[in-house]
Structure 1
Amino acid sequence: MAIHKNPQALPAAQALPFALSLIAAAALALPAQAQTAASPAQTSSNALPAVTVSGSSSAPVTVGGFGDLPVAKLPLQAQVISNDLLNDLGIEATSGLTRLDASVGDAYNSLGYVSYLKVRGYDLDNRFNYRRDGLPINAETALLMANKGSLELLKGTSGIQAGTSAPGGLVNYVVKRPTGDLTTLSLGASERGTVQAALDWSRRLGDAKQFGLRVNAMAAHLDPELRDAKGQRRLLAVAGDWRASPELLVEAELELSHQHQPSQPGFSLLGNRLPDARAIDPRTNLNNQDWSQPVAFDGQTASLRVTRQLGADWSARAHLMTQRLVTDDRLAYPFGCTESADIYWPSSYCPNGNFDLADFRSENERRRSDAAELSVQGRFATAGLQHQLGAGLLLTRFKSRFQGQAYNAVGTGNISGLPRLPADPTLNDANTNRDERSTELFLRDAIQIGTQWQAWLGLRHTRLQRESVRVNTSDLRATDYRQSLTTPWLGLSYAINPQLMAYASWGEGIQSEVAPNRPRYSNAGQPLPALRSRQWEVGLKSGSKTVDWSVNWFDISQPAWRDVGPCNSTPGSCERRIDGTQDHQGLEAQADFKWSGGGLLASAMQLKARRNGSADPALNGLRPANVPQSAVKLQARQSLPQLPGLQLMAGLAYEGRRAVLPDNSLFIPSWTRLDLGARYELQLGRQLAVLRVGVDNATNRRAWKESPYQYEHVYLYPMAPRTWRASLEWVL
Structure 2
Amino acid sequence: MKYSPLFLAISMATPLAHADSKSIEVIEVTGSYFNDYKVDEAKGAMRTDVSLLETAQSVTVIPSTIVEEQLATTLGEVLTNDASLSAGSKQRNREVFNLRGFELSSSNGYLRDGHQHWSHYQQPIETLESVEVIKGPSSILYGQSGPGGLVNMVTKKPTARTLLNIGADTDQEGSTRFTLDAGGALNDEESLRYRANLVKQDVTYQREYQNGDQRERDRFLGALVVDYDVSDDLSLRVHYDYTNDKAGLDTGGWLNEDGDLIGDRKTIRDMSWAFTDIDVENYGADINYSINDNWQVAIGYNKQTFERERFESAAKKPANFNEGDEYTSKPYDRFDDWQFTTKFIDFTGEFDFAGVNHQLLIGANSLDYYYGQLKVKASSVTYSTGQSEPVKPDIDYRDDDTLYTSEYDYYGVYLQDLVTFNDNWQVSFGGRYDKQNKENADSESFSPKFGVLYHPSEQATIYYSYTEGFEPQRSETLNNDTDINHGMKLDAMESKQSEIGVKWQLVDDRLLLSGAIFDISKKGKLISEDIDHPEFETRTTQAGKQRHKGFELGAQGAINDKLFIMSSLINIDAEYEQDENYQGKTPRDVPEWSAALWSRYEFTEKLAFNAGAFYEGARFADSANTIEKDSYTRIDVGATYQMDISNHELNLRFNINNLLDKKYLIGGGTSSVTAADGISFRVAAQLAF
Query: Is the TM-score greater than 0.5?
Result: yes
Residues 520 and 634 (structure 1), Cα distance of their counterparts in 2 relative to 1, 3 Å cut:
closer
Deviation string 1:428-482 (CA, Å, 9 cap, x unpaired) is: 9987421120111111111112221111112121111234xxxxxxxxxxxx321
- Structure 1 CA distance for aligned equivalents of residues 500 and 585 of structure 2: 26
CA contact (8 A) 2:556 2:566 kept: yes
Q: How does 1:530-609 map to 2 (within 5 A)?
A: 530-543=492-505, 545-560=509-524, 580-594=544-558, 595-609=560-574
Bigger Cα displacement from structure 2, 71-80 vs 186-195: 71-80
SS at match of 1:692: strand
Deviation string 1:175-221 (CA, Å, 9 cap, x unpaired) is: 21111211111111112111111111111132321110121111122
- Structure 2 CA distance for aligned equivalents of residues 46 and 280 of structure 1: 56
Q: What are structure 2's unaligned runs of at least 5 residues?
A: 28-34, 209-213, 534-538
Shift of 1:696: 0.8
Deviation string 1:216-235 (CA, Å, 9 cap, x unpaired) is: 11112222222321231111
Residues 98 and 246 (structure 1), Cα distance of their counterparts in 2 relative to 1, 3 Å cut:
closer
Residue matched to 2:536 = none
CA contact (8 A) 1:48 1:249 kept: no
Residue matched to 1:404 = 375
Residues 376 and 538 (structure 1), Cα distance of their counterparts in 2 relative to 1, 3 Å cut:
same
Residue matched to 1:625 = 588
- Structure 1 CA distance for aligned equivalents of residues 207 and 120 of structure 2: 22
CA contact (8 A) 2:512 2:556 kept: yes
Residues 648 and 529 (structure 1), Cα distance of their counterparts in 2 relative to 1, 3 Å cut:
same
- Structure 2 CA distance for aligned equivalents of residues 43 and 602 of structure 1: 24
Residue matched to 1:15 = none
Q: How does 1:67-106 map to 2 (within 5 A)?
A: 67-106=48-87
Deviation string 1:571-620 (CA, Å, 9 cap, x unpaired) is: xxxx9986641110011001014121221211111110011133x4x732
- Structure 1 CA distance for aligned equivalents of residues 194 and 482 of structure 2: 57
Deviation string 1:387-441 (CA, Å, 9 cap, x unpaired) is: 1011111121010111124365211334xx7441243354699874211201111
1:421 to 367, 390, 408: 390
SS at match of 2:205: coil
- Structure 2 CA distance for aligned equivalents of residues 408 and 144 of structure 1: 36
- Structure 1 CA distance for aligned equivalents of residues 657 and 95 of structure 2: 19
CA contact (8 A) 2:20 2:157 kept: no
SS at match of 1:456: strand
AA aligned to 1:638 is Y
Q: Does 1:665 pair with 2:630?
A: no
Residue matched to 2:267 = 284
CA contact (8 A) 2:314 2:331 kept: yes
Bigger Cα displacement from structure 2, 501-510 vs 397-406: 397-406
1:298 to 256, 279, 283: 279
Q: Does 1:119 pair with 2:81?
A: no
Residues 130 and 264 (structure 1), Cα distance of their counterparts in 2 relative to 1, 3 Å cut:
same
Q: Does 1:703 pair with 2:664?
A: yes
Shift of 1:511: 1.6
CA contact (8 A) 2:127 2:156 kept: yes
Residues 609 and 431 (structure 1), Cα distance of their counterparts in 2 relative to 1, 3 Å cut:
farther
Residues 160 and 561 (structure 1), Cα distance of their counterparts in 2 relative to 1, 3 Å cut:
closer
AA aligned to 2:174 is G
CA contact (8 A) 2:170 2:176 kept: yes
CA contact (8 A) 2:324 2:384 kept: no
Q: What are structure 1's unaligned runs of at least 5 residues?
A: 1-33, 338-344, 468-479, 570-574
**Matched residue pairs, number?**
653
Shift of 1:719: 0.9
AA aligned to 1:590 is G
AA aligned to 1:486 is F
AA aligned to 1:154 is I
- Structure 1 CA distance for aligned equivalents of residues 188 and 647 of structure 2: 24
Residues 97 and 160 (structure 1), Cα distance of their counterparts in 2 relative to 1, 3 Å cut:
farther
SS at match of 1:507: strand
Q: How does 1:214-233 map to 2 (within 5 A)?
A: 214-227=195-208, 228-233=214-219
- Structure 1 CA distance for aligned equivalents of residues 359 and 295 of structure 2: 10
Residue matched to 2:32 = none
CA contact (8 A) 1:193 1:224 kept: no
- Structure 1 CA distance for aligned equivalents of residues 324 and 484 of structure 2: 39
CA contact (8 A) 2:478 2:489 kept: no
CA contact (8 A) 1:512 1:528 kept: no
Residues 520 and 116 (structure 1), Cα distance of their counterparts in 2 relative to 1, 3 Å cut:
closer
Residue matched to 1:25 = none
2:179 to 177, 184, 198: 198
Residue matched to 2:450 = 490
- Structure 1 CA distance for aligned equivalents of residues 527 and 120 of structure 2: 26
- Structure 1 CA distance for aligned equivalents of residues 374 and 57 of structure 2: 43
Deviation string 1:86-116 (CA, Å, 9 cap, x unpaired) is: 1211211111134201110111124x61121
AA aligned to 1:606 is N
Bigger Cα displacement from structure 2, 515-524 vs 254-263: 515-524
SS at match of 1:87: helix
CA contact (8 A) 1:335 1:349 kept: no
Bigger Cα displacement from structure 2, 165-174 vs 489-498: 165-174
Q: How does 1:184-195 map to 2 (within 5 A)?
A: 184-195=165-176
Q: How does 1:245-394 map to 2 (within 5 A)?
A: 245-270=231-256, 272-275=257-260, 277=261, 280-289=263-272, 292-337=273-318, 345=319, 349-350=321-322, 354-363=326-335, 365-394=336-365
SS at match of 1:97: helix
CA contact (8 A) 1:410 1:422 kept: no
AA aligned to 1:456 is S
Residues 280 and 673 (structure 1), Cα distance of their counterparts in 2 relative to 1, 3 Å cut:
farther
- Structure 2 CA distance for aligned equivalents of residues 505 and 264 of structure 1: 42
- Structure 2 CA distance for aligned equivalents of residues 409 and 519 of structure 1: 17
Residues 231 and 613 (structure 1), Cα distance of their counterparts in 2 relative to 1, 3 Å cut:
closer
CA contact (8 A) 1:650 1:674 kept: yes
Residues 48 and 371 (structure 1), Cα distance of their counterparts in 2 relative to 1, 3 Å cut:
farther
Q: What is the percentage of aligned positions where both structures have the same residue?
A: 20
Q: Does 1:461 pair with 2:425?
A: no
Shift of 1:631: 0.5
1:680 to 641, 662, 673: 641
